[in-house]
């Protein structure tokens, strides 16, 4: 039985990228593993969210986790800030995280560009907090999308460094979970980059059928191939990537053949993609709507999750303190 840890920032509604990147493949596997799924509300602070929205954002991720099929009887589902042990481990790991390597992280460089007026220390040490989340439960395996690969490499680096410095075999080398041999990157609908919460290019788990159809039909394409086996523009390539993830290899190959012999009609491809997205999303959305007003149920889930997480976390922090030489008087 492996220990599995995964988190999602509470910065907006979950989209298909979050679902296929970090959740879907673990819905069944939660029954065979020791699983921790948390809502990364501390991580969301790097962008200075409005305090009046913070709690609502956390609640959204919680209901969407449950709607997607996480089972609170099996997995500990908790809010990061309900487990204060993570901040202590973060502080301790920070002492062995070097500024140079943090400044070279791709996500940090990206954020410096995107929020030049708010380059805070939390952004710089974001990967250390993430390593603390993972090592807090000594995770073997971390379901994440492709964009988190470098953060996972850093987590392993910090684990190895800790073990070497203190001469122990304490932290495991947590591996990203590769379901079909590769990490997933769900592209956006706007013809560039990945689907993201703040990019405005996503299909969300709470979207109505009508919205899904409308968004997919509007996705960027070109005027169609004019000769056999033409290279694809990014918008079209993205639709094919989504087709493979959502509709499966067979449907993908059917439309690819049509693209390659120039008989494709993008409208047909989009219709197929939208209907297959609806098949995934509609039951999840129904469950979200059912549970989102059941505050007592949500409170119980989150209380139980924090208990389970703190039990595991306090054991780790106690052991780490001992290894580092802290002693009671
Ligand atoms: P966040 O909130 O950006 O995304 C949550 C998870 O969804 C995945 N994901 C995607 N996967 C495929 N295609 C996409 N377009 C896409 N967009 C998002 C992300 O890879 C991620 O797995 N740093 C993390 C949150 C975090 C965390 C952790 C994750 C904090 N501590 C510990 C795992 C373990 C983040 O920003 O995720």
Write the pLDDT tens digit of every residue in 213-239.
Answer: 999 999 999 999 999 999 999 999 999
* Tokens found for residue 38: 């948390």
Ligand 1, closest atom to CA 144?
Answer: 22
- Determine the Cα angle at 107 with ends 102 and 108, to 5°: 45
- Rg for the chain, CA atoms, rounded: 21
Strand residues in the chain grouped as ranges (E): 3-9, 34-40, 75-79, 141-142, 175-176
Centre of ligand 1 from the C-alpha of residue 151, in Å: 10
Centre of ligand 1 from the C-alpha of residue 148, in Å: 6
> Among all chains, which residue has been given the structure tokens 């889930």?
301
The answer to whether 114 is a known catalytic residue is no
Which among 6, 8, 149, 194 is the best mutation to test ligand 1's pocket, defined by most ligand atoms within 8 Å of the CB?
A: 8
User: H helices of 220-291, where?
Assistant: 234-246, 249-260, 266-291
Centre of ligand 1 from the C-alpha of residue 147, in Å: 7
On the 0-12 / 13-18 / 19+ scale of CB atoms within 10 A, 327 is exposed
For residue 299, the model assigns a pLDDT of 98
Q: Of 12, 328, 276, 18, whose CA–CA distance to 147 is shortest?
A: 18
* 64 C-beta closer than 6 A to ligand 1: no
For residue 29, the model assigns a pLDDT of 86
* 148 C-beta closer than 6 A to ligand 1: yes
CA distance 248 to 115: 37
For residue 182, the model assigns a pLDDT of 87
Indicate which residue of 194, 215, 270, 308 is catalytic: 194
The answer to whether 218 is a known catalytic residue is no
For residue 192, the model assigns a pLDDT of 74
pLDDT values of the chain reduced to their tens digit, one per residue, 329 residues: 999 999 999 999 999 999 999 999 888 889 999 999 999 999 999 999 999 999 999 999 999 999 999 999 999 999 999 999 999 999 999 999 999 999 999 999 999 999 999 999 999 999 999 999 999 999 999 999 999 999 999 999 999 999 999 999 999 999 998 877 889 999 999 877 899 877 778 999 999 999 999 999 999 999 999 999 999 999 999 999 999 999 999 999 999 999 999 999 999 999 999 999 999 999 999 999 999 999 999 999 999 999 999 999 999 999 999 999 999 99
Find out whether 67 and 285 touch, Cβ atoms under 8 Å: yes
Nearest CA to ligand 1 atom 18: 18
The answer to whether 194 is a known catalytic residue is yes
Indicate which residue of 111, 138, 270, 308 is catalytic: 111
Centre of ligand 1 from the C-alpha of residue 51, in Å: 22
For residue 128, the model assigns a pLDDT of 98
User: Residue 107 contacts by C-beta under 8 Å, 6 or more apart in sequence?
Assistant: 126, 127, 147, 150, 151
Please tell me the pTM assigned to this model. Answer: 0.95
262-268 contacts, C-beta under 8 A, 24 or more apart: 262/224, 262/225, 262/226, 262/227, 262/228, 262/230, 264/224, 264/225, 266/221, 266/224, 266/236, 266/239, 267/217
* Tokens found for residue 133: 């989340």
User: Residue 324 contacts by C-beta under 8 Å, 6 or more apart in sequence?
Assistant: 92, 166
The CA–CA distances, whole Å, from 180 to 25, 27, 65, 135, 253 equal 10, 15, 22, 25, 17
Ligand 1, closest atom to CA 196?
Answer: 17
Ligand 1, closest atom to CA 194?
Answer: 15
Find out whether 223 and 215 touch, Cβ atoms under 8 Å: no
For residue 264, the model assigns a pLDDT of 96
* 40 C-beta closer than 6 A to ligand 1: yes
For residue 200, the model assigns a pLDDT of 77
CA distance 10 to 47: 11
User: Residue 27 contacts by C-beta under 8 Å, 6 or more apart in sequence?
Assistant: 68, 69, 70
């Amino acid at each position: 039985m492996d220990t599995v840890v995964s988190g999602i920032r509470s910065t907006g509604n979950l989209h298909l990228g979050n679902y296929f990147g970090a959740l879907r493949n673990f819905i069944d596997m939660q029954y065979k593993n020791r699983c921790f799924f948390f809502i990364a509300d501390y991580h969301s602070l790097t962008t200075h969210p409005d305090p009046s929205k913070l709690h609502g954002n956390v609640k959204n991720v919680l209901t969407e986790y449950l709607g997607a099929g996480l089972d609170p009887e099996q997995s500990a589902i908790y809010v990061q800030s309900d487990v204060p042990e993570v901040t202590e481990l973060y502080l301790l790991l920070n002492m062995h995280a070097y500024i140079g390597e943090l400044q070279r992280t791709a996500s940090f460089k990206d954020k410096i560009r995107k929020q030049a007026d708010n380059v805070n220390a939390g952004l710089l040490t974001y990967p250390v907090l993430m390593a603390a989340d993972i090592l807090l439960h000594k995770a073997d395996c971390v379901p994440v999308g492709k964009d988190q690969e470098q953060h996972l490499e850093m987590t392993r680096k910090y684990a190895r460094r800790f073990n070497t410095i203190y001469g122990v075999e304490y932290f495991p080398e947590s591996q990203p979970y590769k379901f079909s041999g590769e990490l997933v990157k769900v592209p956006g609908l706007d013809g560039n980059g990945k689907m993201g919460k703040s990019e405005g290019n996503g299909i969300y788990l709470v979207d109505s059928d009508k919205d899904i159809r409308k968004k997919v039909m509007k996705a960027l394409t070109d005027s169609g191939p004019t000769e056999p086996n033409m290279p694809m523009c990014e918008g079209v390539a993205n639709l094919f990537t989504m087709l493979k993830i959502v509709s499966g290899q067979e449907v993908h190959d059917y439309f690819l053949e049509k693209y390659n012999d120039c008989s494709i009609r993008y409208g047909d491809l989009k219709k197929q993609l939208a209907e297959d997205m609806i098949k995934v999303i509609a039951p999840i959305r129904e469950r979200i709507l059912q549970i989102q007003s059941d505050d007592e149920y949500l409170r119980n889930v989150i209380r139980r999750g924090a208990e389970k997480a703190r039990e595991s976390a306090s054991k780790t922090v106690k052991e780490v303190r001992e290894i580092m030489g802290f002693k009671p008087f």
